[in-house]
Amino acid sequence: MTKNNYLKISLLDDSNEKGNIYLTGNFNGWKPADERYQMINALDNYYFIDIPLSLIPDETLDYKYTRGDWHSVELNSSGKHTPNRKWAKGMPEPKDTVNQWLKDEDLNHTKYYPIIHDLSSKFKVPDPIKTRRISILLPWDYYSSTERYPIVYLQDGQNLFQDKSPYGNWHIDRKVARLSAQKDKRVIILAVDHTHENRLAEYTPPHVPDRAEAYGKEYIDFLKNDIIPYVDQNYRTIGNPQNTIIGGSSMGGLISLYAHLAFPAVFGKGLIFSPSLWLLPNLFDWLQSNSADTIKTKTYIYCGGRESNEMVGQVVALYHGLRALNKENEITLKINSQGEHHESYWGEEFFQSMEFIL
Protein backbone atom coordinates (compact mmCIF):
# COMPACT_ATOMS: atom_id res chain seq x y z
CA MET A 1 0.00 0.00 0.00
CA THR A 2 1.42 3.38 -0.97
CA LYS A 3 0.11 6.67 0.25
CA ASN A 4 -0.25 7.96 -3.30
CA ASN A 5 -2.86 5.30 -4.07
CA TYR A 6 -4.98 5.72 -0.94
CA LEU A 7 -6.77 8.44 0.97
CA LYS A 8 -6.50 8.18 4.74
CA ILE A 9 -9.57 9.39 6.59
CA SER A 10 -9.32 9.93 10.34
CA LEU A 11 -12.17 10.35 12.81
CA LEU A 12 -12.34 11.46 16.43
CA ASP A 13 -15.56 10.21 18.02
CA ASP A 14 -16.34 12.63 20.84
CA SER A 15 -19.64 10.96 21.74
CA ASN A 16 -20.10 8.45 24.53
CA GLU A 17 -21.53 5.86 22.14
CA LYS A 18 -19.96 2.45 21.71
CA GLY A 19 -19.87 0.20 18.65
CA ASN A 20 -18.69 0.03 15.07
CA ILE A 21 -18.40 3.05 12.81
CA TYR A 22 -18.78 2.86 9.04
CA LEU A 23 -17.83 5.19 6.23
CA THR A 24 -20.42 5.54 3.49
CA GLY A 25 -20.60 7.73 0.42
CA ASN A 26 -20.55 8.03 -3.34
CA PHE A 27 -17.81 5.38 -3.52
CA ASN A 28 -20.02 2.50 -2.24
CA GLY A 29 -23.56 3.42 -3.25
CA TRP A 30 -24.24 5.00 0.15
CA LYS A 31 -24.53 1.66 1.92
CA PRO A 32 -24.67 2.57 5.62
CA ALA A 33 -23.20 -0.69 6.99
CA ASP A 34 -20.72 -1.83 4.37
CA GLU A 35 -18.28 -4.15 6.15
CA ARG A 36 -15.57 -3.29 3.63
CA TYR A 37 -15.57 0.23 5.00
CA GLN A 38 -15.84 -0.37 8.72
CA MET A 39 -13.37 2.02 10.31
CA ILE A 40 -10.43 0.75 12.32
CA ASN A 41 -10.52 1.64 16.00
CA ALA A 42 -6.87 2.51 16.50
CA LEU A 43 -6.95 3.98 20.02
CA ASP A 44 -9.79 4.87 22.41
CA ASN A 45 -12.08 7.13 20.36
CA TYR A 46 -9.76 7.52 17.36
CA TYR A 47 -10.68 5.74 14.10
CA PHE A 48 -9.22 5.66 10.60
CA ILE A 49 -9.66 4.01 7.23
CA ASP A 50 -7.72 3.99 3.94
CA ILE A 51 -9.84 4.35 0.78
CA PRO A 52 -8.35 3.54 -2.62
CA LEU A 53 -8.31 6.70 -4.70
CA SER A 54 -9.45 4.65 -7.69
CA LEU A 55 -12.87 4.22 -6.01
CA ILE A 56 -13.53 7.94 -5.65
CA PRO A 57 -15.69 9.21 -8.54
CA ASP A 58 -14.06 12.09 -10.44
CA GLU A 59 -11.57 12.46 -7.55
CA THR A 60 -14.35 14.04 -5.44
CA LEU A 61 -15.58 12.21 -2.36
CA ASP A 62 -19.01 12.78 -0.76
CA TYR A 63 -19.32 10.86 2.50
CA LYS A 64 -20.81 10.45 5.98
CA TYR A 65 -20.27 8.33 9.07
CA THR A 66 -22.86 5.91 10.49
CA ARG A 67 -23.08 3.34 13.25
CA GLY A 68 -24.59 0.80 10.89
CA ASP A 69 -27.80 2.31 9.48
CA TRP A 70 -29.41 5.63 8.66
CA HIS A 71 -31.15 5.64 12.03
CA SER A 72 -27.72 6.08 13.65
CA VAL A 73 -26.04 8.51 11.29
CA GLU A 74 -23.75 11.30 12.51
CA LEU A 75 -25.19 14.62 13.71
CA ASN A 76 -23.47 17.98 13.91
CA SER A 77 -22.71 19.83 17.15
CA SER A 78 -26.19 21.39 17.08
CA GLY A 79 -27.86 18.00 16.94
CA LYS A 80 -28.93 18.41 13.30
CA HIS A 81 -28.26 16.08 10.38
CA THR A 82 -24.78 16.70 9.00
CA PRO A 83 -24.74 17.60 5.29
CA ASN A 84 -22.57 15.34 3.16
CA ARG A 85 -18.90 15.80 3.94
CA LYS A 86 -16.69 16.49 0.93
CA TRP A 87 -13.12 15.90 -0.10
CA ALA A 88 -11.55 16.68 -3.48
CA LYS A 89 -8.13 16.07 -4.96
CA GLY A 90 -5.62 18.60 -3.66
CA MET A 91 -7.29 18.98 -0.26
CA PRO A 92 -5.61 17.74 2.95
CA GLU A 93 -6.54 14.26 4.15
CA PRO A 94 -9.77 14.49 6.20
CA LYS A 95 -9.46 14.62 9.98
CA ASP A 96 -13.05 14.75 11.17
CA THR A 97 -14.86 14.85 14.49
CA VAL A 98 -18.32 13.54 15.37
CA ASN A 99 -19.90 14.93 18.52
CA GLN A 100 -23.11 12.90 18.55
CA TRP A 101 -25.10 10.31 16.64
CA LEU A 102 -28.71 10.21 15.65
CA LYS A 103 -31.07 8.95 18.30
CA ASP A 104 -33.97 10.16 16.23
CA GLU A 105 -36.98 11.03 18.35
CA ASP A 106 -39.05 10.28 15.26
CA LEU A 107 -38.14 6.61 15.72
CA ASN A 108 -40.09 6.62 18.98
CA HIS A 109 -43.30 7.08 17.00
CA THR A 110 -43.32 3.97 14.80
CA LYS A 111 -46.97 3.38 15.71
CA TYR A 112 -47.82 6.56 13.81
CA TYR A 113 -45.89 5.87 10.61
CA PRO A 114 -48.03 6.55 7.53
CA ILE A 115 -49.57 3.96 5.23
CA ILE A 116 -47.83 4.21 1.84
CA HIS A 117 -49.33 3.24 -1.52
CA ASP A 118 -47.79 3.48 -4.99
CA LEU A 119 -50.25 5.15 -7.38
CA SER A 120 -48.00 5.16 -10.46
CA SER A 121 -50.14 2.67 -12.38
CA LYS A 122 -53.24 4.85 -11.98
CA PHE A 123 -52.06 7.53 -14.41
CA LYS A 124 -51.23 7.70 -18.08
CA VAL A 125 -48.47 10.28 -17.95
CA PRO A 126 -48.35 12.57 -21.02
CA ASP A 127 -45.19 13.53 -22.88
CA PRO A 128 -42.89 15.27 -22.15
CA ILE A 129 -43.58 14.59 -18.47
CA LYS A 130 -42.71 10.86 -18.64
CA THR A 131 -43.53 8.04 -16.27
CA ARG A 132 -42.39 8.25 -12.66
CA ARG A 133 -43.32 6.94 -9.22
CA ILE A 134 -46.23 8.67 -7.54
CA SER A 135 -46.75 7.79 -3.86
CA ILE A 136 -49.47 8.62 -1.37
CA LEU A 137 -48.77 8.62 2.36
CA LEU A 138 -51.94 8.29 4.43
CA PRO A 139 -52.31 8.95 8.18
CA TRP A 140 -51.57 5.89 10.29
CA ASP A 141 -55.23 5.49 11.34
CA TYR A 142 -56.72 6.39 7.96
CA TYR A 143 -58.65 3.13 7.50
CA SER A 144 -60.10 3.17 11.01
CA SER A 145 -61.40 6.74 10.81
CA THR A 146 -63.87 8.73 8.72
CA GLU A 147 -62.03 12.06 8.87
CA ARG A 148 -61.08 14.17 5.89
CA TYR A 149 -57.56 15.57 5.74
CA PRO A 150 -55.44 18.37 4.28
CA ILE A 151 -53.08 17.19 1.56
CA VAL A 152 -49.55 18.30 0.67
CA TYR A 153 -48.23 17.75 -2.87
CA LEU A 154 -44.43 17.47 -2.64
CA GLN A 155 -41.83 17.36 -5.42
CA ASP A 156 -38.60 15.30 -5.62
CA GLY A 157 -40.26 12.20 -4.20
CA GLN A 158 -36.99 10.22 -4.31
CA ASN A 159 -35.61 12.35 -1.51
CA LEU A 160 -38.64 12.31 0.78
CA PHE A 161 -38.85 8.94 2.49
CA GLN A 162 -36.22 6.47 1.25
CA ASP A 163 -33.23 5.72 3.44
CA LYS A 164 -30.97 5.27 0.39
CA SER A 165 -31.71 8.65 -1.15
CA PRO A 166 -28.45 9.65 -2.84
CA TYR A 167 -28.71 13.36 -2.01
CA GLY A 168 -30.20 13.16 1.47
CA ASN A 169 -33.66 12.65 2.89
CA TRP A 170 -36.54 14.65 4.33
CA HIS A 171 -37.71 11.51 6.22
CA ILE A 172 -41.22 12.76 5.59
CA ASP A 173 -42.73 9.49 6.87
CA ARG A 174 -41.13 10.10 10.25
CA LYS A 175 -42.12 13.76 10.25
CA VAL A 176 -45.82 13.03 9.73
CA ALA A 177 -45.58 10.34 12.43
CA ARG A 178 -44.16 12.89 14.85
CA LEU A 179 -46.86 15.34 13.77
CA SER A 180 -49.52 12.78 14.73
CA ALA A 181 -47.86 11.76 17.98
CA GLN A 182 -46.84 15.17 19.31
CA LYS A 183 -49.31 17.60 17.71
CA ASP A 184 -52.29 15.32 17.06
CA LYS A 185 -52.33 16.60 13.47
CA ARG A 186 -52.98 14.43 10.44
CA VAL A 187 -52.09 15.17 6.84
CA ILE A 188 -51.97 13.24 3.56
CA ILE A 189 -48.77 13.51 1.51
CA LEU A 190 -48.68 13.01 -2.26
CA ALA A 191 -45.04 12.55 -3.31
CA VAL A 192 -44.15 12.85 -7.00
CA ASP A 193 -40.74 11.62 -8.16
CA HIS A 194 -38.79 13.63 -10.71
CA THR A 195 -37.48 11.98 -13.87
CA HIS A 196 -33.77 12.42 -13.19
CA GLU A 197 -32.39 13.65 -16.52
CA ASN A 198 -35.44 15.88 -17.19
CA ARG A 199 -35.72 17.29 -13.68
CA LEU A 200 -34.47 20.79 -14.52
CA ALA A 201 -36.79 21.13 -17.51
CA GLU A 202 -39.90 19.79 -15.80
CA TYR A 203 -39.38 22.05 -12.78
CA THR A 204 -38.73 25.14 -14.93
CA PRO A 205 -41.88 27.32 -14.99
CA PRO A 206 -42.95 29.67 -17.80
CA HIS A 207 -41.38 33.08 -18.45
CA VAL A 208 -37.85 32.06 -17.44
CA PRO A 209 -35.32 33.71 -19.78
CA ASP A 210 -32.96 31.57 -21.86
CA ARG A 211 -34.68 28.29 -21.02
CA ALA A 212 -35.60 26.55 -24.25
CA GLU A 213 -36.82 23.46 -22.38
CA ALA A 214 -39.41 24.43 -19.78
CA TYR A 215 -42.07 21.82 -19.05
CA GLY A 216 -43.17 23.30 -15.73
CA LYS A 217 -46.61 24.32 -16.94
CA GLU A 218 -47.24 20.88 -18.42
CA TYR A 219 -46.08 19.26 -15.18
CA ILE A 220 -48.38 21.39 -13.02
CA ASP A 221 -51.24 20.86 -15.48
CA PHE A 222 -50.71 17.11 -14.98
CA LEU A 223 -50.91 17.58 -11.20
CA LYS A 224 -54.07 19.68 -11.19
CA ASN A 225 -55.93 18.05 -14.10
CA ASP A 226 -55.08 14.37 -13.54
CA ILE A 227 -53.60 13.63 -10.13
CA ILE A 228 -55.68 15.95 -7.93
CA PRO A 229 -59.10 14.89 -9.31
CA TYR A 230 -58.15 11.21 -8.87
CA VAL A 231 -56.88 11.73 -5.32
CA ASP A 232 -59.87 13.85 -4.28
CA GLN A 233 -62.26 11.22 -5.67
CA ASN A 234 -60.55 8.20 -4.14
CA TYR A 235 -59.22 9.51 -0.83
CA ARG A 236 -60.71 11.57 1.97
CA THR A 237 -59.09 14.91 1.27
CA ILE A 238 -60.88 18.07 2.42
CA GLY A 239 -60.63 19.13 -1.20
CA ASN A 240 -60.65 22.92 -1.03
CA PRO A 241 -57.70 25.25 -1.85
CA GLN A 242 -57.23 26.19 1.82
CA ASN A 243 -56.36 22.56 2.52
CA THR A 244 -54.44 21.80 -0.69
CA ILE A 245 -50.76 22.62 -0.22
CA ILE A 246 -47.93 22.43 -2.72
CA GLY A 247 -44.29 22.40 -1.73
CA GLY A 248 -40.74 21.57 -2.57
CA SER A 249 -37.13 22.65 -2.30
CA SER A 250 -34.59 24.12 -4.72
CA MET A 251 -35.99 23.60 -8.26
CA GLY A 252 -38.92 21.80 -6.62
CA GLY A 253 -39.46 24.97 -4.59
CA LEU A 254 -39.46 27.11 -7.73
CA ILE A 255 -42.07 25.02 -9.57
CA SER A 256 -44.17 24.92 -6.39
CA LEU A 257 -43.99 28.71 -6.19
CA TYR A 258 -45.22 28.94 -9.77
CA ALA A 259 -48.15 26.57 -9.10
CA HIS A 260 -49.10 28.44 -5.94
CA LEU A 261 -49.03 31.83 -7.71
CA ALA A 262 -50.63 30.81 -10.99
CA PHE A 263 -53.33 28.55 -9.55
CA PRO A 264 -54.20 29.78 -6.04
CA ALA A 265 -57.75 28.48 -6.47
CA VAL A 266 -56.17 24.99 -6.58
CA PHE A 267 -53.05 25.32 -4.40
CA GLY A 268 -54.16 27.78 -1.75
CA LYS A 269 -51.07 27.20 0.38
CA GLY A 270 -47.38 26.91 -0.51
CA LEU A 271 -44.25 25.55 1.18
CA ILE A 272 -41.40 27.23 -0.69
CA PHE A 273 -38.04 25.97 0.60
CA SER A 274 -34.75 27.34 -0.80
CA PRO A 275 -36.27 28.07 -4.23
CA SER A 276 -33.97 28.34 -7.25
CA LEU A 277 -34.62 32.05 -7.77
CA TRP A 278 -31.22 32.44 -9.43
CA LEU A 279 -33.05 31.51 -12.65
CA LEU A 280 -35.07 34.73 -12.47
CA PRO A 281 -33.03 37.89 -13.23
CA ASN A 282 -36.07 40.11 -12.62
CA LEU A 283 -38.01 38.48 -9.80
CA PHE A 284 -40.86 40.97 -9.46
CA ASP A 285 -41.60 40.97 -13.20
CA TRP A 286 -41.72 37.17 -13.08
CA LEU A 287 -44.08 37.24 -10.09
CA GLN A 288 -46.40 39.63 -11.93
CA SER A 289 -46.30 37.52 -15.11
CA ASN A 290 -47.28 34.34 -13.29
CA SER A 291 -49.75 35.55 -10.67
CA ALA A 292 -53.48 34.99 -10.92
CA ASP A 293 -56.02 37.51 -9.65
CA THR A 294 -55.66 38.47 -5.99
CA ILE A 295 -56.96 35.72 -3.76
CA LYS A 296 -56.30 34.92 -0.13
CA THR A 297 -53.37 32.51 0.12
CA LYS A 298 -50.92 31.29 2.72
CA THR A 299 -47.21 30.96 1.94
CA TYR A 300 -44.30 29.64 4.03
CA ILE A 301 -40.87 30.61 2.69
CA TYR A 302 -37.68 29.12 4.10
CA CYS A 303 -33.96 29.09 3.42
CA GLY A 304 -30.74 28.41 5.29
CA GLY A 305 -28.31 31.16 6.17
CA ARG A 306 -25.38 28.99 5.10
CA GLU A 307 -26.72 28.26 1.62
CA SER A 308 -25.36 31.49 0.15
CA ASN A 309 -25.70 35.25 0.54
CA GLU A 310 -27.54 35.27 -2.77
CA MET A 311 -30.13 32.77 -1.54
CA VAL A 312 -30.91 34.82 1.57
CA GLY A 313 -31.25 38.01 -0.45
CA GLN A 314 -33.44 36.28 -3.02
CA VAL A 315 -35.94 34.87 -0.53
CA VAL A 316 -36.16 38.24 1.26
CA ALA A 317 -36.91 39.82 -2.13
CA LEU A 318 -39.50 37.10 -2.76
CA TYR A 319 -41.17 37.84 0.57
CA HIS A 320 -41.43 41.57 -0.19
CA GLY A 321 -42.49 40.90 -3.78
CA LEU A 322 -45.36 38.69 -2.67
CA ARG A 323 -46.42 41.23 -0.05
CA ALA A 324 -46.52 43.96 -2.68
CA LEU A 325 -48.39 41.77 -5.14
CA ASN A 326 -51.16 40.57 -2.86
CA LYS A 327 -51.99 42.19 0.45
CA GLU A 328 -54.62 39.54 1.19
CA ASN A 329 -52.13 36.74 1.61
CA GLU A 330 -50.42 35.47 4.75
CA ILE A 331 -46.68 34.97 4.48
CA THR A 332 -44.07 33.65 6.86
CA LEU A 333 -40.36 34.00 6.06
CA LYS A 334 -38.00 31.77 8.03
CA ILE A 335 -34.21 31.93 7.72
CA ASN A 336 -32.26 29.36 9.72
CA SER A 337 -28.85 30.92 10.31
CA GLN A 338 -27.23 27.45 10.53
CA GLY A 339 -29.18 25.91 7.64
CA GLU A 340 -27.53 24.52 4.51
CA HIS A 341 -28.89 23.50 1.09
CA HIS A 342 -29.72 19.97 2.18
CA GLU A 343 -32.69 17.64 2.62
CA SER A 344 -32.13 17.15 6.34
CA TYR A 345 -32.84 20.84 6.97
CA TRP A 346 -35.86 20.87 4.66
CA GLY A 347 -37.34 17.80 6.37
CA GLU A 348 -37.08 19.36 9.80
CA GLU A 349 -38.49 22.63 8.47
CA PHE A 350 -41.44 20.72 7.04
CA PHE A 351 -42.34 19.64 10.57
CA GLN A 352 -41.88 23.17 11.91
CA SER A 353 -43.94 24.70 9.08
CA MET A 354 -47.03 22.65 9.88
CA GLU A 355 -47.93 24.95 12.80
CA PHE A 356 -48.36 27.77 10.28
CA ILE A 357 -49.65 25.99 7.22
CA LEU A 358 -52.34 23.65 8.62
Asked whether residue 9 falls in the same domain as residue 151, the answer is: no
Q: pTM value?
A: 0.75
* The pLDDT value given to residue 308: 82
Asked whether residue 166 falls in the same domain as residue 249, the answer is: yes
* The pLDDT value given to residue 136: 97
Per-residue pLDDT in tens (0 to 9) along the chain, 358 residues: 446 789 999 999 998 777 899 999 999 988 888 999 999 998 889 999 999 999 999 999 999 999 887 778 898 877 777 888 999 999 999 999 998 887 656 667 888 999 999 998 888 777 777 778 899 999 999 999 999 999 999 999 998 987 656 667 888 998 999 999 989 999 999 999 988 788 888 999 988 887 778 889 999 999 999 999 999 999 999 999 999 999 999 999 999 999 999 999 999 999 999 999 999 989 989 998 888 876 788 999 999 998 988 899 999 999 999 988 877 789 999 999 878 888 888 988 999 999 899 9
* The pLDDT value given to residue 104: 59
Asked whether residue 87 falls in the same domain as residue 143, the answer is: no
Q: Evaluate whether 37 touches 22 at the Cβ level (below 8 Å).
A: yes
Amino acid at the residue 43 = L
Residues paired with 303 in a beta bridge: 335
* The pLDDT value given to residue 107: 65
* The pLDDT value given to residue 167: 65
Asked whether residue 38 falls in the same domain as residue 182, the answer is: no
Phi, psi for residue 19 in degrees, rounded to 5:
125, 180
> What CATH code is carried by the domain that includes residue 77?
2.60.40
Asked whether residue 73 falls in the same domain as residue 140, the answer is: no
* The pLDDT value given to residue 105: 62
Classify each residue of 150-173 as buried b or exposed e, where b means 16 or more C-beta atoms within 10 Å of its C-beta. bbbbbbbbbbbbeeebeebbbbbb
CA dist., res. 354 & res. 358, Å (int): 6
CA dist., res. 287 & res. 290, Å (int): 5
Asked whether residue 296 falls in the same domain as residue 322, the answer is: yes
Rounded alpha-carbon distances, angstroms, from residue 13 to 10, 76, 131, 231: 10, 12, 44, 47
Asked whether residue 171 falls in the same domain as residue 223, the answer is: yes
> What CATH code is carried by the domain that includes residue 264?
3.40.50.1820
Asked whether residue 235 falls in the same domain as residue 172, the answer is: yes
**Listed residues 82, 101, 120: the one ending a domain:** 101
Asked whether residue 151 falls in the same domain as residue 41, the answer is: no
Asked whether residue 190 falls in the same domain as residue 302, the answer is: yes
**Listed residues 50, 80, 101: the one ending a domain:** 101
Question: Shortest CA distance to 191 belongs to which of 252, 117, 134, 270?
Answer: 134
**Listed residues 68, 101, 134: the one ending a domain:** 101
CA dist., res. 84 & res. 170, Å (int): 14
Asked whether residue 178 falls in the same domain as residue 97, the answer is: no
Asked whether residue 82 falls in the same domain as residue 191, the answer is: no
Classify each residue of 194-205 as buried b or exposed e, where b means 16 or more C-beta atoms within 10 Å of its C-beta. bbeebbebbbbb
Q: Which domain holds residue 310?
A: 105-357
What is the total count of domains within the chain?
Answer: 2
All residues at 6 or more sequence positions from 247 whose CB lies less than 8 Å from its CB, including other chains = 152, 153, 154, 155, 253, 256, 270, 271, 272, 273, 350
